[in-house]
Amino acid sequence: MEALVNQLPIGLSIGAVLLLVALGLTFTFGQMGVINMAHGEFIMAGAYTAFLLQDLLLALPAAFLVAGLMGLILERAAIRHFYGRPLDTLLLTWGVSLVLQQLARDLFGAPNVQVAAPPWLTGAIGILPYNRLFILALAVAGVVAVWAYLGHTRQGRRTQAVVQNRQLAATSGIDTGRVDMLTFFIGSGLAGVAGVALTLIGPVGPALGTYYIVDAFLVVVAGGLGQLRGAVLAAAGLGLLNSYAEFWSDASLAKVIVFAAVIAFLQVRPQGMFVLRSRALT
């Protein structure tokens, strides 16, 4: 029974990890329609930033910058030529992810590296260790920051305007190229932050990104591509489902169950949890 109750916070904390890795993805997709397969490698870049600095609090902003700049470069150099072709972007960024993985292997070596967790994260409240709570808090902070940015800053509102009608926004004086750049910077930066957080609980190596990318995509799909509210609910839902499914069966089956659940869910809500309505015929 105790174990059963424990699974609840565990599920939420798994959800927090999912949310954190999917947040940047949902941001870039929602705002720009870009599916970034190199997102996992931006997470990895964040984790390696933490490895180089060996200081969690310093690493958070630094990783945001590092991954964000990588995203910025990617956007300027390649992705901007692909707007409106999400499938091509998906494949292009996959190529980028391959190169980045091998680059990490050459720069840092193939074996995992160690990032020491700060001593103040040792300990636990109930079943949840401090580092899990830290991730939970970080995920919440990330969501709040994105929400505040989009709804309550000038630049955020511009971003929203571009999402709703790119041409109209452009003719009313918004530099859409700049907005895209900034959006991609933030989305990738969030991946970097996720990478720092993941060093607390997982391996830090060239393959890091590949472990999380499929799950992150599932969250984005189930949440409704690009919907912040949806992503939060989907992450929590999938986290809990995963936690209980694994508890009653095993880790392998839990993954299969989560996948089946997402397919089933799409039968009920084909466009994810929340969708923007549009009268345009696509």
Q: Report the site for another protein in 109-138 (rule: CB under 8 A).
A: 110-117, 121-122, 124, 127, 129-132
Work out which of 54, 57, 58, 81 binds another protein, going by CB under 8 A: 81
Residue 96 vs 174, nearer CB to another protein: 96
Site for another protein in 253-272 (CB under 8 A): 253-256, 259-260, 262-263, 266-267, 270
Residue 12 vs 174, nearer CB to another protein: 12
Q: Report the distance separating Cα 180 and Cα 187, nearest Å.
A: 10
202 makes contact with another protein (CB under 8 A): yes
Binding window for another protein (CB under 8 A); candidates: 42-50, 94-102, 188-196, 228-236 = 94-102
2 makes contact with another protein (CB under 8 A): yes
Contact map string, positions 216 to 245, toward another protein, x by CB under 8 A: -xx-xx---x----------------xx--
Q: Report the distance separating Cα 199 and Cα 79, nearest Å.
A: 29
35 makes contact with another protein (CB under 8 A): yes
Dihedral of CA 44/135/183/222: which sign? positive
Work out which of 174, 200, 228, 241 binds another protein, going by CB under 8 A: 200
Binding window for another protein (CB under 8 A); candidates: 106-114, 145-153, 175-183, 229-237 = 106-114
Residue 174 vs 213, nearer CB to another protein: 213
Tokens at 190, concatenated: 């969030």
Residue showing tokens 């499914």: 245
